[in-house]
Amino acid sequence: MKQKEQTCIDLKTDRLLDRVNDLVERMTLSEKIGQMSQVTGMGGLTDNLRLAIQQGKVGSILNEVGLESLNEIQRIAMEESRLGIPLLIGRDVIHGFRTMLPIPLGQAASWNPELIKKGARMAAIEAASEGINWTFAPMIDITRDPRWGRIAETLGEDTHLTSVLGTAMVEGFQGEKLSQGDSIAACVKHYAGYGYSESGKDYAYVNISESELRNVVLPPFRACVDAGVATLMTAFSDLNGIPASGNEFLLKKVLREEWGFSGFVVSDWDAVKELKVHGFAEDNKMAAFEALQAGVDMEMVSTCYQGHIATLLREGLIEEKIIDQYVRNILRVKFELGLFENPYTKAADFPVSGNPEFLQIAKQAALESCVLLKNDYDKLPLRLENIQNLAIIGPMADDAYEQMGTWTFDGKEEWCQTPLQAIRAMVGDRVNIHVAKGLETTRTKNRDGFEAALEAARKSDTVLLFMGEEAILSGEAHCRADINLPGFQNELLKEIAQLGKSTVLVIMAGRPLTLGETKDYANALLYAWHPGTMGGPAIADLIFGKASPVGKTPVTFPKVVGQIPIYYNQRNTGRPTREEDITFMNDIPVRAAQTSLGNTSFHLDAGLEPLYPFGFGLSYTTFHYHNIQLSAEQINLGETLEIKVELSNTGSRAATEITQLYVRDIVGNITRPIRELKGFQQVHLAVGETKTIAFQLHTKDLAFYNRKMDLVTEPGQFNIWVGGDSNASLQASFWIKK
């Protein structure tokens, strides 16, 4: 049966290639260049755009929305151009379309690939219902710098977590097969290294070794390629002196030759033209040449290909067979999407956007993305029977727009349910609610609203504070050097804390903020990121105990900006520091000898540890890990080790724990990280219940690129930890035999 299925697939592939080749043979050079050109809509169907489509000079359009307009655009391409080639319609469907999910970094905090896949499927259906067939997502850049505005779009700092969640998004967007009407082509970005931009600034220089590139940055891209992603986007950044859109090593050697990628590569917005700005090409003609030589199939927005491919061919700088191959790559995706057979969209074929099922997916995503960072004296969950007066304070308590977060061009603000709305609906007339913004926005730097906020707090038994940063403070080109709470938020928090009330702080933000001061002003701290359309009901359920927090940090929270980059899987160094070895500045004796502190690796004013580690998140219950067992003390290369551990719910509530498996390769051909995430599972436990959790670890899961850039698993000793975050202490060891 399997052989028969494979034969059918091969026949379909052969027929597809025949159709592609037949079309390429009939195309003029102008039409080929058209397929390699993506233009921006935004101005609607202008006369110029209509003419360009009729002449076959457009292969794709982005940022044009509206079903009627897009169907008309496809009609012109199909019926009024010479060859009738449909268009790819691109849009940034980043974390939802009409119904907004949490920002991707928030979704990553769920550590739930199935839920993330459902969210991407929902977004694909909503987008496809309006004529969009291509999204520029998921973004799978690894970053360790929360100053970077685009950390909001990432899936965090870890290679394994990003690989798993990124492939889940690809599978959600693309469905079971691309040709089904509610699938859209995914585009993984930004290839590669963009998340390492210097100083956390967008578009900045990236200096990264090939070892770091292959071992940390590239694996999520490889995972998505293996999952069948249709397209890939180059990064804006200059990687080691060679901008990504002109980087033959990335696009030809690694992507095509090593990984066998068969989709197509699109540049980022204007990135081909910007090769000139980088100083990598002397003019637009040579920018086109460099991008073509590197392997960029389609140019986004800028017109270097349109203006100069013909000249490059005449001058013999490129060969037309290269152009033909790039056009084949693009056409293949169009055929796989079924656009030649079904170029038009009928709204009646789709469920209504924002329907109850979609809203429930958005709510569950918001609920599982929230991370409980602090809960002193078990202040959460709140018990309605103990509250008569409740203060709800802060600029993020009732702002539907801001809770949607960055990249929400198409989100419906009027569909959003805010925390204030949800709490009012939940408590009804059983509690008196006293509302005050305190600050007009998160950036406000005056005390005009302080007294009203303080008065609301004085009247109340419990104070709920909703702080954070507005959506505009994160996302592309919205980087920050100071990532404390902006404005006078800490000042307001401090004055309310001095009242001695029970205080719960909910933060909505597009990045991990430095909360060293902030956390001291609240008894409980819930991190909600930008939670999307259903953020309010999700937060209300958590605050009042209808659900227990599940989320875990997908990125390390620094104490202060000066610790950046700080991440869990650093190297050991030759002089590692233990917490007990640290001496802080104020404890150093006057005129102490230069070497009296031990000469190890830490900051005198911040110590060694972050504020919150990777993988961290509290629950309304407590969990106990014990009895770790390995299937063997030694295994051979090519074998699988089974790791078992018992997990008990030792608290008073049923809840879900995200169990995490970490490994350290003690000695390597290159130095290895002190810990690496290799697996995780969601485990639901009733009160008092104990479950045995099993992980399978194959020796190939321990492979890395060595000094020669060979992918190898080396014999030797390995340590294993299993627990609830990257500081897990339950440990065992095993050996891979020589």
What does the pLDDT look like over 415-444, one tens digit per residue? 999 999 999 999 999 999 999 999 999 999
Stretch (H or E) spanning 223: helix 219-226
For the chain, the structural domain boundaries read: 2-349, 623-736
Q: Is 190 helix (H, G, I), strand (E, B) or coil?
A: strand
pLDDT digits (tens, 9 = 90+) for 118-170: 999 999 999 999 999 999 999 999 999 999 999 999 999 999 999 999 999 99
pLDDT of residue 530: 98
DSSP state of 194: G
Pairing of strands 730-736, 623-630: unpaired
Q: Is 663 helix (H, G, I), strand (E, B) or coil?
A: strand
pLDDT digits (tens, 9 = 90+) for 288-323: 999 999 999 999 999 999 999 999 999 999 999 999
Kindly report whether the peptide bond that precedes residue 624 is cis, defined as omega within 30 degrees of 0. Answer: no
Tokens linked to 145: 């710098």
Tokens linked to 516: 């060293």
Provide the b/e sequence for 702-731 (b: ≥16 CB within 10 Å).
Answer: bebbbeeeeeebbeeebebbbbbbbbbebe
Structural fold of domain 2-349: TIM Barrel (3.20.20)
Whether 398 is a known active-site residue: answer: no
Q: Would you give the distance in Å from CA 98 to the centre of its chain?
A: 19
State the pLDDT confidence band at 3, using cuts at 50, 70 and 90.
Answer: very low
pLDDT of residue 6: 39
DSSP 55-112: TT--SEEES---HHHHHHHHHHHHHTSSS-PPPEEEE--SSBSSSBPPPHHHHHTTT-
Tokens linked to 532: 């999307």
Average the pLDDT over 379-388 and give the result.
Answer: 95
pLDDT of residue 710: 97
* List 141, 145, 268, 297, catalytic entry: 268
Phi, psi of 264 (to 5 degrees): -130, 160
User: For residue 681, with 0-12 CB atoms within 10 Å meaning exposed, 13-18 middle and 19 or more buried, which class applies?
Assistant: middle
Lowest mean pLDDT among 491-500, 581-590, 717-726: 581-590
pLDDT digits (tens, 9 = 90+) for 521-565: 999 999 999 999 999 999 999 999 999 999 999 999 999 999 999
pLDDT of residue 79: 97
Instruction: Report d(CA 89, CA 461) in Å as an integer.
Output: 53
Q: Is 297 helix (H, G, I), strand (E, B) or coil?
A: coil
Sequence-ordered alpha helix ranges (H) in 261-336: 274-278, 284-294, 304-314, 320-336
pLDDT of residue 44: 83
Instruction: Note the CATH architecture for domain 623-736.
Output: Sandwich (2.60)
Tokens linked to 130: 């309006």
CA angle 655, 657, 658 (to 5 degrees): 155
pLDDT digits (tens, 9 = 90+) for 12-29: 677 888 999 999 999 999
pLDDT digits (tens, 9 = 90+) for 217-227: 999 999 999 99
